[in-house]
Amino acid sequence: MTGLPVHSRRGLQPLTVGLILIGLSLIGVFFAFTKKNPLREHYEVSAVVQTSNLLAKGSVVRIAGIDVGKISKIERYENSSNAKITMRIDEAGRPIRKDASLKIRPRLFLEGNFFVELQPGEPNSPEMPNGGTIPLAATGVPVQMDQFFSALRADTRQALRETIDGLGDGFGGKPTAAEDATQDPAVAGLTAGQALNRTLRTSAQSLRGGAIVAEALQGQNKGDLSKLFKGVGDVTSQLAAADPTLLDLVRNLNTSMEAFGRNPEALQASIEKLGLTAQTGRTAFTAFNQAIPPLRGATQDLTRAMDITPAVVEASTPWLRQAKPLLSEAELGGLLDDLSPAMRNLAKLTNESRKLVPATGDFSQCMNDVFLPTAMIKVQDGPLSVDVPNYKLFWYALTGMAGNVGTFDGNGQMMRVQAIGGATPIKTGWSVFNGLPGFANLTQPSTGTSPAFTGKEPPLRRDVRCADNPVPDINGPASQGPGDGTRPGPPAPPLNPTNVRGESR
């Protein structure tokens, strides 16, 4: 019996099968521990930095201290001195926004390994596509120790030394008497360091107040602070849109600052008074705070009043129906038309009375200060004197004249005086009315005239108020004059046409 060839019954060699199994096991273990799928597309983001700073392929990328990826590539950026790094981001680090930023930071304080600290961006910003690039302006690199020491040259070190010495003198130096005069008495005579240490006594209260202020700045509801910043952003965008107006504002502000700089003494005085202003403001705010509860009560009362307003409006509707005919043209409207001319004339009268009232005041002052005191003077007329004020003599004369003109016969009410001539002729001065003198015969010689004849007309001053004149001296030197017979033919005073028209003196 012929059998099959020996080589036809042979399979894979045991060694070959073992090698295959070992290779498959290694591949399985690799994928099990690395969890990498070479067939899956990776999400990568690039960034342009000034220098790679010892970054290497595989350096860690972190977000908030958590590893989210590694650097997969480092290269030169477009023939410049900058570098371009490519980062492979895990799913745990996504999404990365278009406004993302990063900084290269050392792992150890004294240099050493570096990692990338990535800020993923604002939530409302769109996601950066795969292969996107973070610009140079959004990246930062640490300062190297050699860069730090290269900046400290001899002149810089000397200036730094002088600055430190100045700070030492400022915090440890004793103040002078002139400096203490401008300081608060609580820190007089203390160094700046001692004064700062003393502020620690009230720091707890200040920090507590600062915490209250910080909490208040967050607003009453969630998102108030973000709304504030959004409003500020809207304002600044509008300002940016109004370039000419903003330019004028800056120029005016520059002018104001320049004016402040030219007058530092007044500015210092104003700043010194800010404390009093703040104290006054605190008092005002305290009063305002005390007024809030009554205001809240008034608001509540007003709210209750608003609840009954519809009923009040409904109840007033019938009255409004009756008031409409009453206010129509046929009723009160026509009456107002009839009263309009009278109101216009009343307005004119009121306007003209503005001129009358001052004149009435001047007249009243003249009567009180000049006329009435003059009327109360008793005239001294020698043996003919009467111990009564002269205004009563006027009324006595009128009473006597009224008795003399009584009707005793058919000739009517005429005063009849019988003139008996005497042996003494007299001649008066020249009259201002007819230009002629007067003649008479007296039984006795004239002993004088009262008042004295001056031979000239009294002055008329319209620029002087009556109240500004003194009370006339009726019994003074001009009250008695010589008899006309002793001055025969005196000339007539110059004629004043205003007196002929009846103007008063």
Per-residue pLDDT tens digits of the chain, which is 505 residues long: 444 444 444 556 777 777 777 877 777 776 666 555 555 568 899 999 988 777 888 889 999 888 999 999 989 898 888 899 999 999 888 899 989 999 888 876 554 578 899 999 998 889 999 989 999 888 888 777 766 777 777 788 788 888 888 888 878 888 888 877 777 777 788 888 888 887 777 778 878 888 888 888 777 787 887 888 888 888 877 777 766 777 777 888 888 888 877 777 877 778 877 778 888 888 888 888 888 888 888 888 888 888 888 888 888 888 888 877 777 777 777 777 777 888 888 888 888 878 788 888 888 989 999 889 988 989 888 888 888 898 888 888 888 777 766 655 555 666 666 666 777 777 776 676 777 777 777 777 777 777 777 666 777 888 888 888 898 888 888 777 776 544 545 555 554 444 443 333 3
Among candidates 145, 118, 146, which has minimal Cα distance to 134?
A: 118
| Residue 113 maps to a domain | yes
Contacts of the segment 371-378: beta carbons below 8 A, 24+ positions apart: 371/466, 373/471, 374/471, 374/472, 374/474, 377/471, 377/474, 377/475
What is the rounded distance in angstroms from the CA atom of residue 77 to the CA atom of residue 252? 46
Structural domain count, the chain: 1
In a domain, 137, yes or no: yes
**Does any domain span residue 152?**
no
Closest-CA residue to 404 (of 394, 414, 393, 392): 414
Q: In whole angstroms, what is the distance from residue 51 CA to residue 53 CA?
A: 5
**How far is Cα of residue 104 from the mean position of the Cα atoms in its chain?**
50
CA 396 to chain centre: 73
Whether 410 maps to a domain, the answer reads: no
In a domain, 97, yes or no: yes
What SS3 string covers 265-318? HHHHHHHHCHHHHHHHHHHHHHHHHHHHHHHHHHHHHHHHHHHHHHHHHHHHHH
The encoded tokens of residue 110 equal 């004294």
> Which structural domain, as residue segments, surrounds residue 97?
35-144
| β partners of residue 103 | 117, 140
Alpha carbon distance 104, 74 (integer Å): 13
Is residue 490 domain-resident? no
The pTM of this model reads 0.30
DSSP 3-state of 401: helix
Q: Determine, yes or no, domain membership for 61.
A: yes
Q: Is residue 472 part of a domain?
A: no
Q: H or E segment at 369? A: none
